[in-house]
Structure 1
Amino acid sequence: MGANISTSQEAYRYRVIACHSSTEWRIHFENSKVTTKLIVIDFSASWCAPCRYMEPIINQFASDCKNVDFFKIDVEELNDVAQEFGVQATPTFVLMKQGKVVDKIVGAQKDELKDKIENHK
């Protein structure tokens, strides 16, 4: 039984965190500044077909890359955050380390995103 609990905790820990308020995002952002961990922000929209295509891929990356934190921000829900990062199209993926943008990918570029995550983690 103990193995099931740790497996569920691990599955919970390595998921994409959806931020639903600017305050929630700010807390995660501030926390990311004090670690050398790579964070990947998926800026998307519910109506965006390429975003929906990338969702299971991002979930798999989050499961595979346990030393990378993944966040999802809906551009319509948190337009201020999307503007802050200069997001003009969806999906846009912003890669950050210690509070600084290290890379950015616009579009459903699965292989490019995978390569950039590998390079920066």
Structure 2
Amino acid sequence: MGVFFSSSNSNDGSSSEPSRVLAFHSADTWKSHLESSKDSNQLMVIDFTAKWCGPCRFMEPIMNEMANSFTDVVFVKIDVDELKEVAQVWQVEAMPTFVLVKKGQEVDRLVGANKDELKKKIEKYSGSD
């Protein structure tokens, strides 16, 4: 219904595994997921993206790789055109924007397609502090 594992294609074709990145298409389903994450210390990385955004398309296979590498982290993709109200709540003004969340609260964010910086931030916050 509102949530599914994104069928993003693999960047090298070597993996037939489905992506571990959750894509949300309903604000209510997203709110429910966010609410349930408040009891967990697990890091969630929200990728605010748009179909028309070139840097977002560049980051898509990288997000899939990171989701497979950081199996203790929840990766989420939200299309800003599809869920405008969610993007507004998180004050997303440029794409891609990656918001790192723990216990329902933003702990950091990255604006732009900087895979090395994103990886550093994930490594910093993915521990169980």
TM-score normalised over the length of structure 2: 0.83
Q: Give the distance between the partners of 2:58 and 2:109, measured in 1 at CA.
A: 18
After TM superposition, what 4+ stretches of structure 1 lie above 4 angstroms from structure 2?
none
Specify the SS of the correspondent of 1:93.
Answer: strand
Q: 1:36 aligns with which of 34, 41, 66?
A: 41
SS in 2 for 1:103: strand
Equivalent residue for 1:82, pick from 73, 76, 87: 87
Matched residue SS, 1:94: strand
Equivalents in 1 of 2:114, 2:105: separation in Å? 22
Aligned to 1:19: 24
**RMSD (Å) for aligned C-alpha atoms:** 1.0
Q: Compute the displacement of 1:27 (Å).
A: 1.2
Bigger relative CO (Cα 8 Å, ≥ 6 apart) = 1
Q: Which has the higher helix share?
A: 1
- AA aligned to 2:103 is Q
Distance in 2 (CA, whole Å) between partners of 1:53 and 1:32 is 28
SS of 2:94 mapped into structure 1: coil
Q: What is the letter of the counterpart of residue 34 of structure 2?
A: F
Instruction: Give the aligned partner of residue 105 of structure 1.
Output: 110
TM-score relative to the length of structure 1: 0.89
Q: Secondary structure at the match of 1:36?
A: coil
Task: Tell me which of 33, 47, 54 is aligned to 1:49.
Answer: 54
Question: Which structure 2 segments of 5+ residues have no match?
Answer: 1-16
Determine helix, strand or coil for the equivalent of 1:102. Answer: strand
Identify the residue that residue 99 of structure 2 maps to in structure 1. Answer: 94
* 1:43 partner letter: F
> How high is the sequence identity, in percent, across the aligned residues?
55
Q: Which runs of 5+ in 1 are unaligned?
A: 1-10
